[in-house]
Structure 1
Amino acid sequence: DEQLFVADNLAYFPYQVQDEPLFIIEQIDLSISVSGSTQLQQFRDLLKQHLDYTDDDEGIDITKIEKKLYDVSETIINELNQCLYTTKSTMLLLLLKSYLKDVYYLNDTKIIEYDHTESCKITDRPIVTRKINVKFEPKVILDTIKPIIKYDNFQKRKQIIKEFGDFKRYLLAFDADIEDTIQSISELLPASYSTPTKGKKKGSGTSKRRKVMIDSDDDSVNGDF
């Protein structure tokens, strides 16, 4: 709740110059680059230890662990759930970054080239355009605090694996250099929130665009997460 309160304030703060939201995004990127991979590996270690499942960068095949997931003790499930809970702070930061980019029309080139240590920055110019009436309502975090859907015991266990699969795809897409346009994170936000779709854009050298995505389809239908 406290982290959501801080993120909410950072989202709605009346920034006056471009440097301010860009600085927030820079700090978000630094934080995620450290914490995200650690959280991912911790959950993978638990899957290997308790379910004898070796996870990779592909989707999780729930059929391979379904029986073991059903049989393991509630203590192990609580351990998995607690590990998953720590990833919510990273998800919240990524959603905040996406929101600031959208509201202040910040493209990936500006974000990559931004350096707060420069003494004279063109980003010191005043903000003249910003979107209004756009709410910051990170659905995936709000559902964690106050769940809307009630699951039975086994559904809760499968939901833990599904949410981990979502986090993994989200994080790996953030880290990857991807040329093709990928799906937006609209399913994590309310229906009233829209993220503009961008076409392909060629990169040069190491300055490729970082993009964030998460599949909007419910992969649990066919057993893949």
Structure 2
Amino acid sequence: MADRVEHRYGPAGIRLVTASFHSHHFVPHAHSEYAIAAVERGVEAVRYRGGTEHAPAGSLLLIDAEAIHAGHPAIAEGWDYRVSYVPPELLAELAGHRPRFTAVTPHDPALARRLVRLHRAAAPLHTLEETLSTVLTRYSGAAVAEPAEPAAVRRVRRALADDLQHTPSLDELAALAGMPRFRLLRAFRRATGVTPHGYLLQLRLRHAQQLLAAPGRAGGRGQRVPRPVAPAPALPPGFRGHTGQFRAQ
């Protein structure tokens, strides 16, 4: 069977994705939003936080914003799920702090069914907030304070974000950071989870996602997004492997 992905927008900028994957493998990637998914069928294997967990039907899948993760089918039949990509500021407002999920694939069939119902109906914000608050209460805590990011890494991140068209060499970035190449690679990977080139690819992918989603935003919240699929040359290499967004329904 063919893999299938459908996108639309709900209230407050929440991106709603319905997907069925049978053979698709996600390479390590990150989202700017929190991902809150309910698995409806099959089993997904999720690589996250240094390990692999399995999310069978009736499970939630909870990924922090900007967190590197990957996924693939755990069984031959693959998996179906519905994902709500929630802007960080909305969850922070509900939690009263920047939350961090304490569980990745909790088995909670009742809450999973509730999320599926709200996802299908593109429920109003106040109803979604009640359910999101339940998710936070059960499966999150305050984010652990992390060491300040080195100034050199911040400079490199800003430079990459400021010019997505340019692919700087490692020598250029090392000169900007003021440190040897190998040391920069270690510091950058420690701070972001990926190499500078991997980080630039993610920025490009995110930009491509935003371009694809822009027509849908104009269609109004909670409405299905009918939009053309960008031709392959217009998308960065690896777009499908990172996002699964090879087709919009």
| TM above 0.5 | no
Instruction: Answer 1 or 2: which has greater strand percent.
Output: 2
TM-score, length-normalised on structure 1?
0.31
Instruction: Answer 1 or 2: which has greater helix percent.
Output: 1
